[in-house]
Amino acid sequence: MSSTGLSRGRRCTIASRLNASAEAAVAATSSSRGEKQKAAVARRVEYYDEEDARGEARYDVFINHRGVDTKRTVARLFYDRLVAAGVRAFLDNQSMRPGDRLDERISEAISQCGVAVAIFSPHYCDSEYCLRELALLVESRKKIIPVFYNIKPSDLVLPQAVVESVAHHPRDIERFKFALREVKNTVGLTYDTATGDLAELVTSAATAVLENIDKHEVTQGRHMIMSRL
């Protein structure tokens, strides 16, 4: 062996130690990330408990969806995942109670949330409620994460029956069209039942929401500090 070289056994020993160190670093990073997530959940739960005690409950996320397509699948799975992460999410059939006035509760939830998830599906544009919620979210400048569920962004077009309906004011039709154009130009998540992994979609959407909630909370905190100066 040369004076500057290492024996094969020595190289193998060093390599195995480097691999072990790398694995330990990955494990530590994962553990650290997990601890941070747990701490974030604990902070949210504590914050919500304080809000409930003051009677000031609010929502972090509004889930805009077409019930006939997604209520028993991705919308409910997504809602459950967010709740498990300590996020206060609004999903109509889970967040509303008998006697609630539909328009008032939805408008209130949209005004409170910082982030929204719009789940677009084949029958989405047939629903006046879906379109009105989307228009209000866009007009309120909420952060919207689009999920294209068994549909392409290019398929988001108002049906002629909606456009020609006497039930809709021309101004509302323009609001709906503008809102759809906005989400078409927003990067989102796509899913196809034939080839997609639903669990992966829910995880990706939940991760995107949590990241945006954290950003929103930081921004809100800065605004509160500035308002007190």
- For the annotated catalytic residues, the residue numbers are 133
Q: Do residues 117 and 205 touch, judged by C-beta distance below 8 A? A: yes
Q: Residue 60 is encoded by which pair of tokens?
A: 């972090």
Longest CA pairwise span in the chain (Å): 91
